[in-house]
Chains A and B, each alone.
Chain A
Amino acid sequence: MAEEVKLMKGNEAIAHAAIRCGCDGYFGYPITPQSEVMETLMAQKPWETTGMVVLQAESETSSINMVYGGAACGKKVMTSSSSPGVSLMQEGVSYIACAELPCLIVNVMRGGPGLGTIQPSQGDYFQTTKGGGHGDYRLITLSPSTVQEMADFVGLGFDLAFKYQTPSVLLADGVIGQMMEKIVLPDFKPRRTDEEVRKECPWGTMGKNGRKDRNVVTSLALESEVMQETNNRLQAKYKAIEENEVRFEEHNCEDAEYVFVAFGSVARICESAMEILRAEGHKVGVLRPITLWPFPTKEIQRLTKQVKGFMDVELNCGQMVEDVRLAVNGQVPVGFYGRQGGIIPTAEEIAEAFKAQMVK
Chain B
Amino acid sequence: MKREIIIAGFGGQGVLSMGKILAYAGLLQGKEVTWMPAYGPEQRGGTANVTVILSDTRISSPLLQSYDVAIVLNQPSMDKFEPRVKPGGMLIYDSNGMTRKPTRTDINVYRVDATDKAIELNQQKTFNMMVLGGLLHVDPVVEIENVMLGLKKSLPERHHKLLPANEAAMKVGADLIVKEN
Contacts and interface: CB of A to CB of B under 8 A. Distances in A.
A7 B36 contact: no
Interface residues of B, number: 20
Given A119-B40, A182-B32, A271 B27 contact: no
A272 B60 contact: yes
A268 B61 contact: yes
A181 B33 contact: yes
B34 interface: yes
Contact of B23 (A180, A269, A348): A180
User: Residue among A118, A181, A271, A347 with the most chain B CB within 10 A?
Assistant: A181
A5 interface: yes
Contacts, number: 63
Interface string A229-258: 000000000000000000000000000000
A275 B36 contact: no
A181 B34 contact: yes
A160 interface: no
A33 B61 CA distance: 20
B56 to A, nearest CB: 13
Interface string B20-50: 1001100100001111110111000000000
Nearest to A348: B65
B62 A175 contact: yes
Nearest to A275: B60
Interface in B58-98: 59-65
B173 to A, nearest CB: 23
Contacts of B65: 346-349
B36 A178 contact: yes
Contacts of A180: 20, 23, 33-36
A268 B33 CA distance: 14
A178 B63 contact: no
Contacts of B64: 346
Contact of A271 (B37, B40, B41, B60): B60
Interface of B: 20, 23-24, 27, 32-37, 39-41, 59-65
18 contacts: A7-B20, A7-B33, A118-B39, A118-B41, A174-B39, A175-B36, A178-B36, A178-B39, A179-B34, A179-B35, A179-B62, A180-B33, A181-B35, A182-B33, A268-B59, A269-B60, A347-B60, A347-B65
Given A32-B40, A178-B37, A344-B63, 5 more contacts: A5-B27, A7-B20, A118-B39, A180-B33, A180-B34
